[in-house]
Chain A
Amino acid sequence: MKWKRSRWLELALVVVVLTLVGILVNNLAVNLIRTGLGLSFEWLWQPAGFALSEHTLPYQPGDSTAWALLVSWLNSLRVIACSIVLATVLGVGAGAARRSLNPLLRQLAGLYVGLIRQIPLLLQLLFWYFVAFLGLPSQPFAPIGTLISLSNQGVGILGLNLSVEFSAVLVGLSVFTGAAIAEVVRGGLDSVPRGQWEAFRSLGINEGLGLRRVVLPQALPAILPALSSQYLNLAKNSTLAIAVGYADLYAVSDTAITQTGRAIEGFLILLLSFLALNLLINGGMQVLNRIVVHPAQRT
Chain B
Amino acid sequence: MTKRRSFVSLLSTCLAMSACATLGAGDTSRLDLISKRGELRCGVSGKIPGFSFLQRDGSYAGMDVDLCKAFAAAFVGDPSKVQYRPLTAPERFTALKTGEIDLLSRNTTFNLSRDASGGNGASFAPVVFHDGQGLLVRRDSGIRSLEDLKGQSICVGSGTTTEQNLNDAFQSLGLPYKPIKYQDLNQVVAGYLQGRCQAMTSDRSQLASARSGFERPEDHEILADVLSKEPLAPLSSGGDQRLSDGMRWVVYALITAEEMGITQANVDDKLQEARDNPDLTKVRRFLGVEGDLGSKLGLSNDFVVNVIQATGNYGEIYNRHLGPDSAVPIPRGLNQLHRDGGVITAPPFQ
Contacts and interface: CB of A to CB of B under 8 A. Distances in A.
Given A31-B24, A245-B187, A245-B191, A134 B196 contact: yes
Contact of A17 (B14, B113, B178, B183): B14
11 contacts: A13-B7, A27-B24, A35-B121, A37-B117, A62-B171, A152-B196, A254-B159, A255-B163, A258-B90, A258-B163, A259-B163
What DSSP secondary structure best describes chain A's contact surface? helix
A37 B120 CA distance: 9
Which of B121, B161, B170, B179 has the most C-beta atoms of chain A within 10 angstroms of its own C-beta?
B179
Contacts of A254: 90, 158-159
A52 to B, nearest CB: 8
Interface in A213-237: none
B182 A152 contact: no
B43 to A, nearest CB: 16
B158 A255 contact: yes
A50 B181 CA distance: 11
B350 interface: no
Nearest to A24: B21
Interface of B: 3, 7, 10-11, 13-14, 17-18, 20-24, 89-90, 93-94, 97, 113-114, 117-121, 153, 155, 158-161, 163-164, 167-168, 170-171, 177-183, 187, 190-191, 194-196, 238-239
Interface string A243-264: 1110100010011011111010
A62 B171 CA distance: 9
Contacts, number: 129
A36 interface: yes
Interface in A1-43: 6, 9, 13, 16-17, 20-21, 23-24, 27, 30-31, 34-37
Given A35-B238, A53-B153, 15 more contacts: A13-B11, A13-B14, A20-B18, A24-B17, A27-B22, A30-B24, A34-B24, A35-B97, A50-B164, A51-B167, A51-B177, A153-B153, A251-B181, A257-B90, A261-B113
Given A35-B117, A243-B183, A245-B191, A49 B164 contact: yes
A242 B183 contact: yes
A243 B191 CA distance: 11
B114 A261 contact: yes
Given A36-B121, A263-B93, A13 B10 contact: yes
A261 B167 CA distance: 18
Contacts of B155: 245
A152 B190 CA distance: 13
Contacts of A17: 10, 13-14, 17
Contact of A261 (B18, B93, B168): B93
B117 A243 contact: no
B17 A259 contact: no
Contacts of A9: 7
A150 interface: no
Nearest to B196: A134
A61 B174 CA distance: 11
A138 B153 CA distance: 13
B21 A243 contact: no
Given A6-B3, A13-B7, A130-B194, A263 B24 contact: no
A182 B90 CA distance: 36
Contact of B158 (A135, A165, A251): A251
A27 B23 contact: yes
A31 B22 CA distance: 11
B115 to A, nearest CB: 10
A243 B187 contact: yes
Nearest to B239: A35
A90 interface: no
Contact of A164 (B119, B158, B196): B196
A24 B164 contact: no
B94 A258 contact: no
Contacts of B191: 130, 134, 245
A30 B194 CA distance: 48
Nearest to B113: A261
A153 to B, nearest CB: 8
